[in-house]
Each structure stands twice: as structure tokens, then as C-alpha cells.
Amino acid sequence: MAMRCPTCGTMYGDEARFCTRDGTRLAAFPAAPVAAAPAAPVAPVAPAQTARAASVSGERHTSPRVADSPAAARSGASSHANMTGQVLDRRYQIVRKVGEGGMSYVYLANDVATQERYAIKILSPALSKDQNAMARLRREAALGIRLAHPNICHIVRMGETEDGLVYVVMPYVEGEILSDRNYRVGKTTLEDTVRFVGEIASGLALAHQLGIIHRDLKPENIMICKRADGVEYAVVMDFGLAKERKAGGELQKLTATGIILGTPEFMSPEQLRGKPLDARTDIYSLALMTYEMLTAKLPFEGKNQQEMMIARLRNDPIPARNRRPELPEKIDDVLLKGMARALEERYQTAAEFAQALRGAVA
């Protein structure tokens, strides 16, 4: 599927996400109509999807499918791929499969005792036997369990059945991915932007207090959900790249790929350079996301992605009011400080950035 810039009409390949001429987020061409979030949510992991079950790296959306025969369900990988209708670990009633990838499957499940809904990631046998992968997963689970917060999709628990099936339990989050919402609404209202940023910052504050940084904060990792009264709120997803600030050599080896896996458009300058990271790298990404919500564009331009990354390392962001003149004057001061190249010149906490944004709007 080709991608097209809605502003200037430039065409790109399917790997591109932003226009290098004006920073506008690209849309699929021919553009498909935007649908409302489905009544029965699914678990996507790429842009242009409308609901997500959990933070699952690399899964693709699949239609619900009835499980194969019990005999097939007990055999090797097929048992992981076809668990609909089964009870996992005598606790979780599997409702349907909502996503899958090369190394895991994700299911919607109900707790047999409480009837609470969860997203459960079932690891493939190959991954379960990979000692390095399991070491990283156990580390992520240990971190994720500590991130219980209304604005974070956290890991509830990690378990293993008697026959060696390894699984991770997470809340089942239903809503619209922020990148999809940005496509749909274009420029976000000041009221919504301030509310979403405040909620994201609230979740990040807990993580940062625990010494955990997200490392890959971007619109695709934010879910916009609705409460019973219809009010929207933001949930931070995919703490899969999360890293404790104080990590030993072995842990550094396990998480070294995080530098590569981060999304270039929203990486901080220090992350692009491969420098040590702290909570302020998340603040940079949050400020950049805020800029995009308000203007529907990125704050840097270039002929290609490499030039855009170089611009982030050398140039100041384009003022938001150049692209949306009706914004309050103080907005640019807040965004420029949030995206300062030097760590010491940025806001030092996510709460500080969110408070400054509220003050600028007020």
C-alpha cells in the first residue's frame, strides 16, 4: 500500500510514516475510510488499527478462529495457536485469539473466579526454550508488575503451566490508538491535548519514580480509551523496551537492542546518538508527541529520514505557532523547552512538563 502526504500530495513507499517535506503524518493511498472502534476489540500492533489488547511486539491482527480439535490443541505449536475454549492454568477461560506473531499468540480471556477480562500472551515453545529471551521477559515482567497505574497497561503476572507453557497476563485495553486518532481528527483540541498529556505524564511519573524509562514513547504506543460517561483518557502501552536506569552489564546486553527498536521519529537526540538515557528522554518524546497532536506535523523537516534525524541533532524545532497561529503564545516556550537538545535544559520531570502545558493554555 502506497503512502501519501495529505498536505503536499507527495507519494511514498509503504515503510514511510511522515512526509520529509513538511513533517505531516502520511495516510494510506488510496485512503481507506476511517471506522469507529469495533464493538469486539482486537489486538493490533501497527498504525491504522483501532483497538489493542496488550503491549505485544510484532503481533499482527487476526480474525477470531475456533480452535482445532483437542488432539491438535495438545500438539506442539498448534496448542499455542488454537487455545480458544480452553482453560489456561485452571484459571483463565480463553475466549478468542486477538493477535499473533512469530513468537507468541495473544488471547482475550476471562478470569474463571472474578470474570475480569485479560489479554494473555502465550509464548511459542521455541521462545520458551530461549534462555536469553526468557531472561529478558522475566525482567520485563518484574518491571511491569510494579507499573500498576490507571494510565499504564501493565503486566499483571507471568506464569508457567505444569507442561511448560509460559504466558504473560495483562489488562485488556479497549480503545483507539493515538496515531489513528491523529489521522482521524487532524489537529487535536487544546483541551484534549492537555488532558491526554497530563494522563500520559501521570503514568510516566510512576515509572520514572521506580527508575524505569519507556524508551519508545510514540502515538502508536498510546491508547485512547473511553470511560462509561464517554470521557476519553490515555493509556501508555508497550513498556517492552522499558529499562531500569541502574542496570548491570548482563542486563545491558539483554536490552541493548532497545536503541535499535526505538522509533526514529520520536527518539530523543541522546537516544539517536546511543548515549545513556534517563527519564528526560521520555519527556522529549512526550513533547514531540504533543507538538504533533497540536499541529498534525512533526517539528523538523528534511529530504529524507536521515536528514530529519540530523535536524533533530542540530536544529531547533519549527515553532508550533508557525503551523497553527491560533495557539497560545506560551505554547512554543513549553514545547521548545520540552524538546531541548541538552538534557539539563529540558523539563526534568513529566509532571513538570504537563503542568507547564496546562499553564500555557490557561
* Domains present along the chain, CATH in parentheses: 1-33 (no CATH), 70-171 (3.30.200.20), 175-361 (1.10.510.10)
DSSP SS3 for 110 = strand
Which is catalytic among the residues 163, 192, 216, 332? 216
Q: Which residues of the chain have pLDDT under 70?
A: 1, 7, 9, 14-15, 20-23, 29-78, 101-102, 240-263
Per-residue pLDDT at 81 = 78
Q: Are 174 and 51 in contact (CB under 8 A)?
A: yes
Per-residue pLDDT at 278 = 93
- Report d(CA 61, CA 350) in Å as an integer: 32
Per-residue pLDDT at 41 = 33
Per-residue pLDDT at 136 = 77
The model's pTM is 0.73
Cross-strand pairs, 120:
107, 169
> Cell numbers 504533543 correspond to what residue?
290
| Catalytic-residue membership of 216 | yes
Q: Are 207 and 162 in contact (CB under 8 A)?
A: no
Per-residue pLDDT at 186 = 92
> Which DSSP string do the residues of 21-63 spell out, in sequence order?
TT-BBPEEESPPPP-PPPSS-----SSS----SS--TT-B---
Per-residue pLDDT at 74 = 40
Measured N-to-C along each axis, helices 279-295 and 178-185 cross at an angle, to the nearest 10 degrees, of 20
